[in-house]
Every structure is written in structure tokens, then in C-alpha cells.
Structure 1
Amino acid sequence: MLPAELQNDFRPLLDEHYYTEDEKLVVKQADALCAYLKCLEELSAGNNEFKLAKARLEKTLDMRSSPEMEYFMEVFIPSFSLSLDEISQDEVM
């Protein structure tokens, strides 16, 4: 809990009622991306219960697509399916 003297200063950053429509969209995209990454993590650990959730989230990500999100998906998402050995090997090269 924030001290009373700081609450007004932080309210625009923490209260979604102060967000612009663009900011709300970015938060929704980030939330969907986090959930998608969790699915990838669980699937790579052998937890197949996340297959359906992954498929649903892929549809959600397609609906909320933006150039920034497409860039993130192309550049960063593939690394989330790498094993520890593959990550370490990339660092050596």
C-alpha cells in the first residue's frame, strides 16, 4: 500500500481509468503475451494440458495484433522454446 502522500502521484499509473485507449490495448496485448509464454513454458516441460490454452491464445494474439507485437513474436518468442543447452550454446558462439 502506498503512503497517503504518494497515492495521488501514482494513481494515474496504477488506476486503469486514467489509461488512454492505446495504453489499455498495450496492457491487454502484454497480458495475452504473458499467458502465451506461460503456455509455451508448460508445454516445453511436458504439460500437455496447456495445448488448448495455447491455441486459444494464438487466436487472441491474432485479433490483438500490431506491428510491435508481431515484432516481439518474430524476434523473441522463438527463444522461449530453447533448451538450457541451446541457450548456452548461443552464448558461446
Structure 2
Amino acid sequence: MSKHSDKQFVICEKLRGLGYASERRVRLYGEEFHLVSDPFPDGDGFVVEGIARKSGKSRFVRIPLSIVHTLRQELIVDTELDVAA
């Protein structure tokens, strides 16, 4: 695996830990979704597939970039601490 895909894997794991995981219910962008996938990379961000409660339609929903950026910053800090130790 490359460093980039390793980082993406770690971020996906952290997102699952935050509740963005298959078979969970989340509210994103004012809508409630039943998630049918775990998060996966998409462009600069990450998405999950979910079924909208109101319409019953399946959609790919982007996880808010503020959450992704926070996790990336935590990953950088953790990496720097590992290197310093």
C-alpha cells in the first residue's frame, strides 16, 4: 500500500468510529440517512451511501469536509509524535 492509501484507510477507520458506518443512522445536510456503506475516498473527500428516510432513495453523501480536515490534522500530529518518539 502507498502512504496515500494508508492515510485514506486510517481516515475511513476513524470515520467509522465516529458513526459513519454501514447500518447506522446519521443526519447530514438536514436529512436523515440509513447508511448502507462504510465511508470511502472520493476526490478530496469521503462519501457514504445512504438511503434518505423521507424519499427512500439511495444517495451518495459527502462527509462534511470540516470533519475530514480535522481527522487529517490529527493524523499529521499523530505521525509527528511517532517520529519524535
Q: Find the structure with the greater CA-based Rg.
A: 1
> Which structure shows the bigger proportion of residues in helix conformation?
1
TM over 0.5, yes or no? no
Greater share of residues in strand: 2
Q: Higher relative contact order by CA 8 Å / sep ≥ 6: 1 or 2?
A: 1
TM-score (norm 2): 0.30
TM-score normalised over the length of structure 1: 0.28
